[in-house]
A = this chain, B = another copy of it.
């Protein structure tokens, strides 16, 4: 006789295959699909989402979950954790009626396609109606989940990306940072101003050469091209599935560091996916822990490792050779100062790690107001610009460099932004712990050898999937839960030492 738990594993295996299919179609939509394919793709994704919803909302699943939880004694710890994650998945999925799931999927695809045109045109009005239609559905879904999870609507959205977190917890963490950063930023800017500015290597840097160098560095970090691809897209991302991780970038021929650091960032995401426990590949407990954990891996590679002095010393001669560079701009010391230059700017994805939290705090505050119904979307551009001025003292000249810059809201991902800064904190905390445990990590990175670092990360982070909570994962790897002082310590050491 099949145990309830085993019947659940079978059903979640099929669910995983269908979600992987949707993940590949989403990658294709961003990296390959011509514009004319949008309507049909939207129908394909909506049909998949409805099927996945039906698989979980079948009353038999509720019964199986109850039965398995009532009889969880014979399960081993991984199976118990898997059962817990199944329940979580079930809760988030069945909280929404099927027609809302279907409508959300269509509205998301439609809004994203219009945003793709509105952003280069800096035309917020063009995307406003479809953004409003999508937001209405997001708020409806937040209300439905809020009732079921017993939390505020914004927390219900947040929980999808960062399980167990809450606005109250984030406020504590962000308040700590917000108290630290303004004075710290001004000290860093003063110190920078006292030295001659770093020199920017002069391009053009052909995209094909950038790509070849990016592929070489991806391989050095540990990316396996038999299990993944690098392509181009408007908004760089890491997509695909653990066995076939697809990362994307975009090339700026005037500045090769943008794509290069972007690719290293996405490589961090990709290696997390590849390192997830393969024995649990088809099950909820085998998935990445959450978006903060995911971002911790990308930021650990990009910010902690690859903008550090050791890696830049390894990179400098490779870049000089690839682009036939010559002169003082190409020294390791200049490039290190260039890659760690702090300068308030409009674009989040180009921001340095000192000002980045301000970008996130702005979006977090705005999206809480929007979800609460306190800020109409029509007022968003003005509120954005006012917030940028308050936080970083600058005002975007247009919405392309303001509230149109990120895909997230136009893709329905409200409640996602805080995870970037939670991830930055976790990255600092994990990199410090890794170096304490394996002292040769920095020297190895200086030779382009990421094996010691990746070995520690595999063992202490990747291989745990969703076995622990985010704080549990950090506790077993670093000895304490998420702590904003880890980021403050790192920033102080890098920028004021």
Residue numbers of A with Cβ under 8 A of B are: 14, 17-18, 20-22, 24-25, 28, 32-37, 39-41, 43-48, 50-51, 224-229, 240-244, 281-282
Contacts of A28 in B (CB 8 A): 24, 28
Interchain residue pairs with CB less than 8 A apart (24):
A14-B47, A14-B50, A17-B40, A17-B44, A17-B46, A17-B47, A18-B51, A20-B40, A21-B25, A21-B44, A21-B45, A24-B25, A24-B44, A25-B25, A33-B244, A34-B225, A34-B226, A34-B228, A36-B226, A36-B228, A37-B243, A40-B244, A40-B281, A43-B282
Contacts of A32 in B (CB 8 A): 32, 229
Closest to A14 in B: B47
The reply to whether B224 and A36 contact each other, CB–CB distance below 8 Å, is yes
In the bound complex, how far is the Cα of B35 from the Cα of A5, in angstroms? 33
Closest to A224 in B: B36
In the bound complex, how far is the Cα of B45 from the Cα of A45, in angstroms? 15
Q: How far is the CB of A106 from chain B (nearest CB, A)?
A: 11
The reply to whether B36 and A243 contact each other, CB–CB distance below 8 Å, is yes
Which residue, of A22, A44, A282, has the highest number of chain B Cβ atoms within 10 A?
A44
Q: Which of B36, B228, B241 contacts A244 (CB 8 A)?
A: B36
17 further contact pairs, Cβ within 8 A, besides A20-B40, A20-B43, A41-B244: A14-B47, A17-B40, A17-B43, A17-B48, A18-B44, A20-B44, A21-B25, A21-B47, A24-B25, A24-B28, A28-B28, A32-B32, A34-B226, A34-B227, A36-B226, A37-B244, A51-B51
Q: How far is the CB of A227 from chain B (nearest CB, A)?
A: 4
In the bound complex, how far is the Cα of B34 from the Cα of A25, in angstroms? 16
The reply to whether A37 and B224 contact each other, CB–CB distance below 8 Å, is no
The reply to whether A21 and B37 contact each other, CB–CB distance below 8 Å, is no
Q: How far is the CB of A116 from chain B (nearest CB, A)?
A: 13
Q: How far is the CB of A41 from chain B (nearest CB, A)?
A: 7
In the bound complex, how far is the Cα of B32 from the Cα of A240, in angstroms? 12
Contacts of A282 in B (CB 8 A): 43
Contacts of A241 in B (CB 8 A): 37, 40
Contacts of A243 in B (CB 8 A): 36-37, 39-40
In the bound complex, how far is the Cα of B47 from the Cα of A282, in angstroms? 12
In the bound complex, how far is the Cα of B14 from the Cα of A99, in angstroms? 14
Q: Which of B25, B34, B227 contacts A37 (CB 8 A)?
A: B227
The reply to whether B226 and A18 contact each other, CB–CB distance below 8 Å, is no
Contacts of A14 in B (CB 8 A): 47, 50
Q: A-B pairs with the 3 shortest C-beta distances?
A: A37-B244, A17-B47, A36-B227
In the bound complex, how far is the Cα of B236 from the Cα of A13, in angstroms? 33
Q: How far is the CB of A423 from chain B (nearest CB, A)?
A: 26
In the bound complex, how far is the Cα of B44 from the Cα of A18, in angstroms? 6
In the bound complex, how far is the Cα of B17 from the Cα of A45, in angstroms? 8
In the bound complex, how far is the Cα of B241 from the Cα of A24, in angstroms? 16
Contacts of A41 in B (CB 8 A): 24, 244
Contacts of A20 in B (CB 8 A): 40, 43-44
In the bound complex, how far is the Cα of B48 from the Cα of A35, in angstroms? 25
Contacts of A50 in B (CB 8 A): 14
